[in-house]
Amino acid sequence: MTSSAPDESAGLTGPSDAVGPVPAPGATAGPPPNTVVVPADEDPVAAAGSEVIGGPPGRRALLGVSWWIPARFLALVVIVVSVLGMVRDLPCYNQAWFQPGSPQYIHACYSDIPHLFSGRGFAAGLHPYVDRIPGTSGDLQYLEYPVLTGLFMQVAAWLTPGGGSQQDQEQWFWAINAGLLMACAVVAAVALSRTHRRRPWDALLFALAPVLLLNGTINWDLLAVALAAVAMAWWAGSRPFRAGVFIGLATAAKLYPLLLIGPLLVLCWRAGKWREFRAVLGGAAGAWLLVNLPIMLANWQGWSTFYVFSNHRAEDYGSFWLIVMQNRGVGLEHLNAYIAALMVLGCLAITWLGLSAPRRPRFAQLAFLVVALFVLVNKVYSPQYALWLLPLAVLARPRWRDLLIWQACEVLYTLGIWSHLGFVVGPKQHGIGEAWYHFAIVLHLLGTLYLVGLVVRDILLPDRDPVRWDGSDDPSGGVLDHAPDVFVVGTARRLREEESYAAYAPAGPEHWLREPELPEPAEKA
């Protein structure tokens, strides 16, 4: 069921919206293009939750025609959730960050932000990537973050008042960063509302996410999340060059958005959209170079610190490899090679899935799978990495039950790692030991694999896809939406050959075996 609303309420413009979706084989025709899908109409969990505000909207509800269009409502929800997250951090803000031992872990409100204000030289007025951090050696003589994140940190440092004690400055630095990251979360939510045509309210899954409340200010990941979400919104609007620009900017803030290029390559290959793919690639490369090249030229060692540190880093908290290492009692000498091999094999499997699925997968589905693969095999998993997957999961599998199951696992992992660090760091060993922490890691892995399995099933059985059940193709696919396939393999090729065979020989295979019926010769006059 759907409720009517004008296209402008969902941020929809363009001639493509005037054409209804092409139904999938065996599916009913989708809703008219001027309707908005309401989660409470099709999702049992959303319907049950809507009882708090009076139940699902009625048949004649005109959603989005007032001032409270989806984008504004979502922005308000994100602000409320972010403020609640800041309130939750008050025990650390007031004292726990500045006390030795484990108080910040016991209160489960740890953040890198206040500690790095002094630890990376911002308090001393040093400039990242150019000025060496005093008292450091090895791989961490300069800031170990990508360039755009370093610029974000520097702007926040410039806005931090200079008077008062060091604790006062660190508190201000965190508060300013928290406000800027809240703005990033608002941008991400609004971008999500404009990515799936006719499904802007799915972005509530992002705005109300527990991991956004718990993990939004642990680090600066929301900057890359917002830029990647904007990139996907531009792609959905059939603006490949602009999408590429924002992928490049997001990659300059965090490495994982680079993985979005792979799914676009596979899908554009299958649809023959090479011009659009070149536009994405060119925009991404140009934007990334524009941000990084000045720092490369100014100080190559400072610029490369992030990449050198990531390469030399050993297995760390949150990863499957940590369980292997601690159970074996030895380090993994060739860990980078193992991870590279698993990434290559996983990407090949995703490529085969993209080219052989009965219907071309949606962009969000393949994007979620490749980033989830990176998260699962990476040598470290910090709690805020769940934010990387959150927008992609919302677009790939917009079902409240499934996302809540996954996020429950992530919340338990977040509480688990803080409890374990409190056990390790604190003198009284308050928290959980190694065995229970390993259980928390496994829980996080299983939660992510649960979503991966559902997305793969939706790709192989498109009628189970929450987005495609109504006859839609790829609302976030931009130029890929309703595009015919030009290159397929495996199952997709067999199905296409069978469809062509049936269209050419409607009477069945025996039709080709019959002798052709020749017309009778005309009688001579």
Q: Measure the CA–CA gap between 462 and 395, rounded to whole angstroms.
A: 15
Residue with tokens 């660190």: 170
Cα distances (angstroms) measured from residue 375 to each of 319, 381, 444: 9, 7, 10
Q: Give the contacts of 21 (CB within 8 A, at least 6 positions apart).
A: 29, 30, 33, 470, 471, 472, 473, 482
What does the block give as tokens for 121? 């030289």
Residue 442 has pLDDT above 90, yes or no: yes
What are the residues facing 3 on neighbouring strands?
A: 36
- Are the C-beta atoms of residues 309 and 145 closer than 8 Å to each other? no
pLDDT at 320 over 60: yes
pLDDT of residue 499: 66
Q: In the prediction, which pLDDT does 46 show?
A: 66
| Size of the chain in residues | 525
Do the Cβ atoms of 236 and 196 come closer than 8 Å?
A: yes
**Residue in the structure block whose two tokens are 């090949």:** 348
Q: Per-residue pLDDT tens for 102-141?
A: 899 999 999 999 999 999 999 999 999 999 998 877 778 8
Instruction: Let me know if residue 38 belongs to a domain.
Output: no
Beta bridge mates, 4:
35
pLDDT tens digits for range 357-370: 999 999 999 999 99
Q: How far is CA 368 from CA 336, 375, 465, 503, in A?
A: 23, 10, 14, 35
C-beta separation of 149 from 224 below 8 A: yes
Determine the residue type at 189.
A
Least confident residue range of 54-63, 88-97, 144-153: 54-63
Residue 138 φ/ψ region, left for φ over 0, alpha for ψ in the -120 to 50 degree band, beta for the rest: left
Question: Does residue 507 lie within any of the structural domains?
Answer: no
| Residue 377 token pair | 């095999």
Quick count: other Cβ atoms within 10 Å of Cβ 15? 6
Q: Which of 10, 175, 155, 200 is nearest to 82 (CA)?
A: 175
- Phi and psi of 103, rounded to 5°? -55, -40
Query: Across residues 419-447, what is the average pLDDT?
Result: 91
Q: Is residue 483 part of a domain?
A: yes
Question: How far is the C-alpha of 235 from the C-alpha of 230, rounded, in Å?
Answer: 9
* Gap between the Cα atoms of 21 and 191, Å rounded: 22
The residue to which tokens 């609302």 are assigned: 475
Cα–Cα distance for residue pair 315/253, rounded to 1 Å: 23
Higher pLDDT, 14 or 58: 58
* Exposure b/e, 261-283, CB count within 10 A at least 16 = b: bbbbbbbbbbbebeebbebbbeb
Asked if residue 20 is part of any domain, the answer here is no
Residue 27: CB partners within 8 Å, gap ≥ 6? Answer: 463, 468, 469, 470, 471
- Name the helix (H) or strand (E) containing 35: strand 35-36
Q: Give the C-alpha separation, 448 to 17, whole Å.
A: 34
Among the listed ranges 85-94, 267-276, 516-525, which one has the minimum average pLDDT value? 516-525
Q: Which ranges constitute the DSSP H helices of 397-470?
A: 400-425, 434-460
pLDDT at res. 344: 97
Residue 52: exposure state from Cβ atoms within 10 A (0-12, 13-18, ≥19): exposed
* Whole-number pLDDT of residue 65: 58
Among residues 324, 338, 343, 318, the alpha carbon closest in space to that of 443 is found at 318
DSSP 218: S
- CA-CA-CA-CA dihedral for 360, 362, 365, 370, to nearest 10: 70
Q: For position 315, what pLDDT does the model report? A: 82
User: Angle at the Cα of 222 (from 46 to 203), degrees rounded to 5?
Assistant: 20
Q: Given a cut of 50, is residue 78 above it in pLDDT?
A: yes
Q: What is the pTM of this model?
A: 0.86
376-396, pLDDT tens digit by residue? 999 999 999 999 999 999 999
Task: Report the alpha-carbon distance of residue 174 to residue 120 in Å, rounded.
Answer: 14
pLDDT of residue 4: 40
Give residue 415's domain range. 67-494
Report residue 118 as tokens: 């002094």
Domain count, the chain: 1
Q: What are phi and psi of 181, to 5 degrees?
A: -70, -35
- Asked whether residue 479 is domain-assigned, the answer is yes
DSSP 60: T
- Per mean pLDDT, which range of 153-167, 224-238, 292-306, 321-335 is the poorest? 321-335
Residue 286 lies in a domain: yes
Question: Does 514 score more than 70 pLDDT?
Answer: no
SS3 6: coil
> How do residues 329-340 score in pLDDT, each as one tens digit?
666 788 899 999
Give SS3 for 19: coil
Which residue type, as a one-letter code, is found at position 176? I
> Cβ-count burial of 504 within 10 angstroms (0-12 exposed, 13-18 middle, 19+ buried)?
exposed
Residue 7 in any domain: the answer is no
Per the CB < 8 A criterion, the answer to whether 237 and 478 are in contact is yes
Condensed to tens digits (0 to 9), the pLDDT of residues 24-36 reads 443 344 455 557 7
Residue 12 covered by a domain:
no
pLDDT at 260 over 50: yes
3-state helix, strand, coil in the chain (%, to 5): 65, 0, 35
